[in-house]
Structure 1
Amino acid sequence: MFVGRKRELAYLEERFKTGKPELIILYGRRRVGKTELTKEFLRKKRGIYYLAEKLPENLQLKKLSEKVIEFFDEDIITEFSNWEMLFKYLASKHDRYILVIDEFPYLIEREPGIISSFQKGWDEYLSNSNVFLILTGSSVSVMENSVLGYKSPLYGRRTGQLLLKQFPFNEIGEFFEKKYGFDDLLKIWGTLGGVPFYLEQFDSDLDYYGNVMEKIYNQNEVLFAEAEFLLNDELREPRNYFAILRAISLGKRKLGEIINETGIDKSSIMKYISILNLLGIVEKEVPVGEDPLKSKKGLYRIADNFFRFYFRYVFYYKDLILTDQRERLLSILKDTENQFFALTYEDFARSAVMWISGSNYFEIGRWWDRNAEIDLVGMNREEKRILLGEVKWSERPVTTDIFAALREKAYLPRWDEFKEKEYAIFSRSGFTKALVDEAKSDRSLMLFHGDKRVV
């Protein structure tokens, strides 16, 4: 079942209809759905799909040649002896067709010079042909440096690029035929993120805990070892990355705390953290409105939901799974999940600011100092507007006291430049009647129960 990706497909369709030669770079983390997207795009079109492998150059060229010759079904040589011959042949075709080379980094991993062959092939042949060429890659670092980077031979040749991201929260329900309510969907999102392959592993006939037990706390299932597999495949010295991720998952968010927990020296740890940041696994969080390069309040967090869950509830407890003590581990999850998923709900609320009342808030995040903290702040400096919010993943309705405290924080001196103030409160368990009545009379206050606005 192919789900979502309407905007991405529309983009590819629009480029295809121009009839012009195209070189599209499509990349994103593993399992995010690049292959399924390209196959769906190819489904009703003339095209060649080739999955690169970690093979010597001559074997790569041989296998791709076989695909090309089979597709055009012509009585010619059985393979091309070099890349130039292949590109010259492709350029000779008059009808529009698609060529997808999936996992392009595998093609250039052993022979970096191949990328220069592609540059020459594009410049001399394909740029004047009817080809719609898509190069995909799961190694974000390789795609951004070796393919898209300024020093790459292909720099300036691409006609378009598409960074495929995880599904947002409001689209993951499609994977489960809308069988789950908001609470379960938020937990699933906080556990798996928006990675299609992971979402497809869960069984909509099981509840959230049943899926965790059967699909994650099960050494025979792919999700049990997935995070470590990805890190081992992507990184050198994975042990140090595991240590850093484990430290952050334990709440060691300041750089000094991470250094003390892992024993890795400062000069080395910044290199590891920067790579985790490039991979989209770890990010540095600063109070909204502050310069990330200058702020001294930076805290590190695991930004990828799947890695955050894995290093909190799987990595450290693998022995419980391997010794069939999964029920004990499930109890640990249930005892601590409210604190864990409270952060997921905050992430959801900050993303929801994008569509709140159609307002354009260009700086969105969390804010804190020594004396106060605000879960959600959105700022529009040009229009002098600010949104301040609280996010409560508790089992009790939110009272008027929460709004009173939030409104008090809105008049801190640092917000003096903003003349118009709005408020938003997100609650898992709803609101007291008194707060609902107050929101009805105060148009600056918005209330959201789960993911729906109630006032």
Structure 2
Amino acid sequence: MFIGRKNEIEKLNGFYEGETVSVAVVSGSIGVGKTSLLQEFAQEKNAIFFEAYETTGKHQLERLGQLMGMEALDAASFCKEISERASKEKQLIIIDQYPNFVKADSEFDRLLHDYVVGEWKDLPVKLIFCSDAFVLIDKHVNGKKAIWSKDISLDLEVKPLGFYDSCQFFGDASPKEAAYLYGITGGIPYNLVRVANLLGIGGFKGYGLSPITRDDKLKEITVKLFLDKNTNFGLNPEKVMATELRELAYYNYMLATLAKGLNRVNQISAEVEKPKDVVVPYLNSLMAIGICTKDTAITEITNRKKTRYSIVNTSTLFWYKFVVPNVDDYNCGNVEKLWAAVEESLDDYMKTVFIKICGEYLADQSEKNQLPFTVEEIGNWWVNDDEAGTTDGFDLVSLGKCDGKSATIFAQCYYNHEPIEVAQLKLLIEKTKQLHRQGDAFYLVFSNAGFHENAVTISSAIKNIMLITLDEMR
């Protein structure tokens, strides 16, 4: 069953149009669904879909020849065969894990490029390279020093699914359950499919996972995905990083530090006991492979004092927040103690997940013109307390338009157990005085536990205050 990826399919279809040669690169981390996307795209097309793996060049060509029904295939005969076929009808060639081919046979890579810029230039050949190793795809295909760098017409990075597409894997889960499952899976299809299998949802079977029927299903799913070393059905972030990075020691330490909420360079430097000029290159490496990101206040992007780092995917955050700090319990199989650690800090973790869902909701509703404003950029804004080592600000700040004029949207996202009262609305409005806004101001308050009657009364009387519950967002 194929879910989501509407925008990606549209981009690939656009790439496929035309009667001249074109080259695309599709990248993304392990488990994000690149192969499934390309298989879906290739349906009902005249396609050669070849997955390279780590072997010799001779063996790669033997396997490719078997796929094409040709014996004694070499690089030259492959290219000539494609020329012959393309003279009759459009050819789609997808090579998954292409860096494995290049490492095994660099001559094949060079000859293929020669044909693309030469003999195939006016032929309908559509060539797609795919890889889940950012470093290698950059080195061999779309990096500045790669021979293909000037010939790529589509560079598509496949990212995890958003909340709304992910919910299709959760069946009739409640909004609160869906938010948690989205958090621990991170929207990664590898994880989502296994959760759907555990929930007994049709169309996602065949992974050796018996459906869970117990009342504590969220606990059991979490255990099977991440907390039980003997099952470990989820995608382990450390194993993903190991495909890109040579030594994980300080990377693991830095990510565990970020997961604790220490997100500024000086804080990370002090925690890992490395100077800033060592810490920053490590962070840059993590950003290069999409593990973490650098945040700046949305209206002060050049203010270096307002720079902080965060872990991109909530599944990775879960691992470094709960498993890595309790790795002895993980190695010993102490599942109950691990789950107790999850429960103890669950609200703090889910606040991060909830902010992410709220940001997706804003973008989705703006795209559908369901808001009194349009959103052009979503970020946040904060002030630092250097003495306390803390920050205070907004969970989300968006810049956009209302009736053609600039608008600033301030949002707070409350993940707690009590309905939000009018005092919290007043606090949000008061806090906006710290920030010079652009044009009209809108105040959004998101809550998983709903709103007190006094907050609803106030918001109904003031048009620029919006109250949004998790149930509405599901």
TM normalised by structure 1 equals 0.90
Cα distance in 2 for partners of 1:155, 1:225 equals 31
Partner of 1:74: none
Q: Does 1:89 align with 2:81?
A: yes
Partner of 2:275: 265
Match of 1:342 among 334, 338, 351: 351
Partner of 1:368: 382
The CA deviation at 1:297 is 2.1
Cα distance in 1 for partners of 2:49, 2:168 equals 27
Partner of 1:180: 173
Of residues 255-264 and 358-367 in structure 1, the stretch that sits farther from structure 2 once superposed is 358-367
Partner of 2:446: 426
Of residues 217-226 and 19-28 in structure 1, the stretch that sits farther from structure 2 once superposed is 217-226
Cα distance in 1 for partners of 2:288, 2:42 equals 30
Q: Is the contact made by 2:412 and 2:446 (CA closer than 8 Å) also made in structure 1?
A: yes
Partner of 1:391: 413
AA aligned opposite 2:44: K
Partner of 1:351: 360
The CA deviation at 1:91 is 1.0
Partner of 1:43: 43
Partner of 1:170: 164
Q: Does 1:404 align with 2:426?
A: yes
Partner of 2:339: 330
Q: Is the contact made by 1:49 and 1:100 (CA closer than 8 Å) also made in structure 2?
A: yes
Q: Which residues of structure 2 form unaligned runs of 5+?
A: 201-211, 386-391
TM normalised by structure 2 equals 0.87
Partner of 1:211: 221
AA aligned opposite 1:305: T
List per-residue Cα deviations over 1:181-220 (Å, max 9, x = no partner). Answer: 2111111121121110111121125422110012222223
Match of 2:124 among 123, 130, 135: 130
Query: Closer, same or farther in 2 for the Cα pair 1:358/1:352, shift >3 Å?
Result: farther
The CA deviation at 1:149 is 2.6
The CA deviation at 1:110 is 4.8
Q: Is the contact made by 2:9 and 2:41 (CA closer than 8 Å) also made in structure 1?
A: yes
For the aligned residue pairs, the C-alpha RMSD in angstroms reads 2.3
The CA deviation at 1:22 is 3.1
Partner of 1:147: 141
AA aligned opposite 2:97: E
Cα distance in 2 for partners of 1:80, 1:156 equals 28
Q: Is the contact made by 2:190 and 2:234 (CA closer than 8 Å) also made in structure 1?
A: no
Which secondary structure state, in structure 1, belongs to the residue aligned with residue 243 of structure 2?
helix
Match of 1:282 among 292, 297, 310: 292
Cα distance in 2 for partners of 1:110, 1:259 equals 40
The CA deviation at 1:451 is 5.4
Query: Closer, same or farther in 2 for the Cα pair 1:131/1:363, shift >3 Å?
Result: closer
Partner of 1:117: 111
Partner of 2:64: 64
Cα distance in 2 for partners of 1:311, 1:41 equals 35
Cα distance in 1 for partners of 2:311, 2:323 equals 15
Cα distance in 2 for partners of 1:255, 1:451 equals 37
Partner of 1:24: 24
The CA deviation at 1:90 is 0.7
Partner of 1:73: none
The CA deviation at 1:224 is 5.7
Which secondary structure state, in structure 1, belongs to the residue aligned with residue 32 of structure 2?
coil
Q: Which residues of structure 1 form unaligned runs of 5+?
A: 71-77
Q: Does 1:245 align with 2:239?
A: no
Query: Closer, same or farther in 2 for the Cα pair 1:287/1:11, shift >3 Å?
Result: closer
Query: Closer, same or farther in 2 for the Cα pair 1:68/1:264, shift >3 Å?
Result: farther
Q: Is the contact made by 2:410 and 2:432 (CA closer than 8 Å) also made in structure 1?
A: yes
Q: Does 1:448 align with 2:463?
A: no
Which secondary structure state, in structure 1, belongs to the residue aligned with residue 161 of structure 2?
coil
Q: Is the contact made by 1:217 and 1:224 (CA closer than 8 Å) also made in structure 2?
A: no
Partner of 2:101: 107
List per-residue Cα deviations over 1:49-101 (Å, max 9, x = no partner). Answer: 1111112222222322332235xxxxxxx2233x2332122111112232210
Q: Is the contact made by 2:133 and 2:243 (CA closer than 8 Å) also made in structure 1?
A: no
Partner of 1:197: 190
Which secondary structure state, in structure 1, belongs to the residue aligned with residue 456 of structure 2?
helix
Query: Closer, same or farther in 2 for the Cα pair 1:89/1:224, shift >3 Å?
Result: closer
Which secondary structure state, in structure 2, belongs to the residue aligned with residue 128 of structure 1?
coil
Cα distance in 2 for partners of 1:45, 1:384 equals 46
